[in-house]
Each structure stands twice: as C-alpha cells, then as structure tokens.
Amino acid sequence: MREADQRRPISASLDHAPVGRLAGGKEPVIACLRDGWNRGPREIPFDPEKIWWLIKAVVDAATTPSSTTQSDLRLHAVELAKVLGNARKALQRAINMRPELAQDMMWAWTFLLTDGASAASVLSGQTPTDGLGKLLDQAIAGVAALEAAANLVVQWNQKPPGNQKGSGRLSRDYIFILAFLYRNTTGLQPTTSTHAKKPGGFVDFILAIRDAFGISLGDDAVFRAVKITLRELRGL
C-alpha cells in the first residue's frame, strides 16, 4: 500500500515477521479463520501457516512507523498533480494550436523509437513505423492518467474531522488487505456482524489480530474502522 511501499517489499516482511511482538499468539486468529472456513464453501484448502505468514506481513507493515507523514504525502501529491497537469495542458495546446510542433513531436518520437532512422528510411518504407502513432497517443493519455492518480493520492491523504480512515495503527488500507485475505481464506464476504454462537466473522478476525499483536485499539475503534472500510470497499 502507500505507506508499506515506502519501506520494504512483502517478501521481506514474510522473511522477518514480527514474532517477538506477539501478545496473544496466533491460535485465536487461526481458530477464528478456521471457524469462518468451516461455515464457508471450503473450496480452497485451509493452510494455517501460509495464512499466518501473510497476516504477520500485513500487521508488520501496518505497525512499523513510516518516515513520511500523511501531510507530507498529500503535499508531494499536490505538487506532482500540478506538474503533470501543466504538462498535459502544454501537450494539448501543442496538438490543438501548433500543428507544426505536433508534427515535429511525431517525427522525434519516430526517430527515438526506430533507433535514429532517417526520414528517408521511414518515408521509403525501409523502417517500419506501424503502431508508433498509437504509442504516442498512449503516452499522452498516460500523462493524464498519472495526473488523475496523483489527485487520487491527494484525496486519500486528506484529514477530515474525526477518524474516517480507521483507527490507530490498522488504517483503512491494511483493513482492505485483511478483508481480501479473509474472503480468499474463508470464502465468506467480510461483514460488520459478529457471531457469538458462530464465531469466525470478519470483525472477530480483526479483534483476534488486535489481541494477538497487542495493538492498542478498543472494541469501538475496531468496529468503526471495519464499518468505514467495508462501506468504501463495497463502493469499488
């Protein structure tokens, strides 16, 4: 995710999972998932060791302090979106108002992608240029896509009033990952319901992770974080 990408890859987390930070042990977490798996379609074999490695990797990334704050990320994303927006506007002006410049850009693009082929070679057909125009169009569209992505990062790192993106050290992004892990393991859709007589729901799973790793989150904070995250997940 955005914070985890700043530090180390998932493979490294799997090799160096935070066993020493465990507070309650893995058995309650695995038991919760097994209860959910038993209630599900059981299409995928239950592999507790693999699941536990993945959980440790996610929690390790979620609880390791980041060197970049949310405010820093937002400021950098705003700056990047502005630069990309200016580049997109300049490209549009060149294409729409300066046909000569647009034509020269196409020739320069062709020169670069054909390892410096001469105009004579291109015009005579000795150097094939099929698809080069489409690649240039894709490159220009890519600038707009990058601008949109940067603006989305800005939105993700807004700080609205209250705790809108999860609580403590299990943010929305990591609950997203745990929701997918839960669904792929149990075959059940993650919901906000708990099962007093039939344990194994997604909230029970997150509560078990909190207890296992000693994450300082109260029950209300967990319920609120799960509710907000699943509401956003359904909107994707």
Decide: 174 and 57 in contact? Cβ < 8 Å. no
Instruction: For residues 62 and 74, state if they share a domain.
Output: no
| pLDDT at site 2 | 41
pTM above 0.85, yes or no: no
Cα gap 46→170, rounded to integer Å: 25
36: Cβ contacts below 8 Å, ≥ 6 apart:
182, 185, 186, 188, 200, 201, 202, 205
Q: Is the domain of 183 the same as that of 208?
A: yes
Same domain, 142 and 166: no
pLDDT of residue 52: 93
Rounded average pLDDT per 10-residue block, the chain, 236 residues: 37 34 74 91 90 89 71 86 90 82 84 83 79 82 87 74 45 83 91 69 90 86 86 69
- Residue-level pLDDT at 29: 93
Domain identity same for 95 and 151: yes
Q: 52 and 168: one domain?
A: yes
**Contact between residue 3 and residue 172 where contact means Cβ atoms under 8 Å apart:** no
Q: Are residues 59 and 166 in the same domain?
A: yes
pLDDT for the residue numbered 102: 80
Same-domain status, 61 and 168: yes
Task: Select from 94, 121, 156 the last residue of a domain.
Answer: 156
At 58 the pLDDT is: 86
Residue that terminates a domain, selected from 156, 173, 198 = 156
Same domain, 61 and 90: no
Residues 133 and 77 reside in one and the same domain? yes
Residue that terminates a domain, selected from 107, 130, 156: 156
pLDDT at 30: 94
With vertex at residue 215, the alpha carbon angle to CA 211 and CA 216, rounded to the nearest 5 degrees, is 110
Residues 140 and 206 occupy one common structural domain: no
Same domain, 57 and 167: yes
Total of domains in the chain: 2
Host domain of residue 77: 70-156
Question: Is there a single domain that holds both residue 139 and residue 76?
Answer: yes
